[in-house]
């Protein structure tokens, strides 16, 4: 399997905020495509595993043969970003449950905040990602309750970690794709080498609306 070198990022297209992630990547000037099969991983520099329902996602990944394909692509150099359920799937430890990919040395507590009714928004400074505070949307979010020595904590909130990374994996328990802020998508694109590390670009898109992704849906 050939990965990297194309400057293209992918978004796992099985469940969750696929179009919203694709739209944010396009807004930061990155070529992006949905990934529904192992063949779709070919040539990618990075892959976003979006939020959704982690148990459902794990079943779909196995059904479509993407679980082993993503592991092979990661071993060949693919960078990964898991948001919410995606972070759960990438974690090496899932409190009270069996881990799925186990690719980053973190422990997560699934549904730590309770039900969907316990969703909330915050605004925090994540200095490694942007110079200005970033809006954060938590929807039935997990908590990262431990990070290993190989993992850098990007954002600590109260008694849990909300964002972390190692050399090749980024995890966030919130949903950057559901806000007008482009900082995390730009950060991941730079991590994947498809944008200049010190490139310019506004973190906030003033033209964004919650329905902005709909203009792109007919392309995929």
pLDDT digits (tens, 9 = 90+) for 174-185: 999 999 999 999
Q: Domain 8-219 is of which CATH architecture?
A: 3-Layer(aba) Sandwich (3.40)
Query: Catalytic: which of 21, 24, 175, 185?
Result: 175
pLDDT of residue 128: 95
Contact 84, 51 (CB under 8 A): yes
pLDDT at 115 > cutoff 70: no
pLDDT, mean over the chain: 87
| 49 bridge partner residues | 82
Residue extents of the structural domains in the chain? 8-219
Q: Which of 32, 13, 19, 4 is nearest to 213 (CA)?
A: 19
177 has catalytic annotation? yes
Residue 56 annotated as catalytic: no
Of the two residues 44 and 203, the one the predictor is more confident about is 44
pLDDT at 198: 61
Rounded Cα distance between 33 and 48, Å, is 10
What predicted TM-score, i.e. pTM, was given to this entire model? Answer: 0.87
Catalytic residue among 23, 165, 177, 192: 177
Radius of gyration of the chain (CA): 16
- Known active-site residue 84: yes
Give me the pLDDT at residue 113, please. 59
Which helix (H) or strand (E) element contains residue 214? none
Helices assigned H by DSSP within 28-178: 54-63, 66-75, 85-90
pLDDT tens string 59-101:
999 999 999 999 999 999 999 999 999 999 999 999 988 999 9
Candidate list 20, 21, 84, 185, residue with the active-site label = 84
Residue 205 in this model has a pLDDT that exceeds 80: no
Q: How far apart are CA 10 and CA 125, in angstroms?
A: 27
């Amino acid at each position: 399997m050939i990965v990297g070198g194309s400057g293209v990022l992918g978004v796992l297209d099985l469940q969750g905020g696929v179009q919203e992630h694709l739209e944010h990547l396009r807004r930061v000037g990155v070529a992006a495509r949905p990934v529904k099969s192992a063949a779709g991983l070919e040539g990618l520099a990075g892959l976003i595993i979006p939020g959704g329902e982690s148990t459902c996602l794990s079943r779909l990944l196995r059904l479509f043969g993407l679980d082993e394909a993503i592991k092979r692509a990661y071993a060949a150099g693919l960078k990964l970003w898991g948001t919410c359920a995606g972070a759960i799937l990438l974690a090496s430890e899932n409190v009270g449950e069996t881990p799925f990919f186990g690719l980053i040395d973190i422990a997560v507590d699934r549904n730590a905040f309770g039900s969907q009714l316990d969703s909330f928004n915050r605004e925090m400074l994540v200095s490694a990602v942007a110079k200005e505070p970033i809006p954060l949307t938590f929807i039935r979010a997990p908590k990262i309750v431990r990070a290993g020595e190989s993992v850098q904590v990007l954002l600590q909130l109260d008694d849990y970690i909300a964002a972390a990374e190692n050399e090749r994996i980024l995890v966030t328990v919130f949903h950057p794709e559901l806000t007008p802020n482009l900082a995390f998508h730009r950060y991941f694109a730079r991590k994947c080498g498809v944008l200049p590390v010190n490139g310019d670009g506004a973190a906030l898109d003033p033209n964004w609306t919650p329905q902005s992704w709909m203009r792109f849906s007919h392309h995929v």
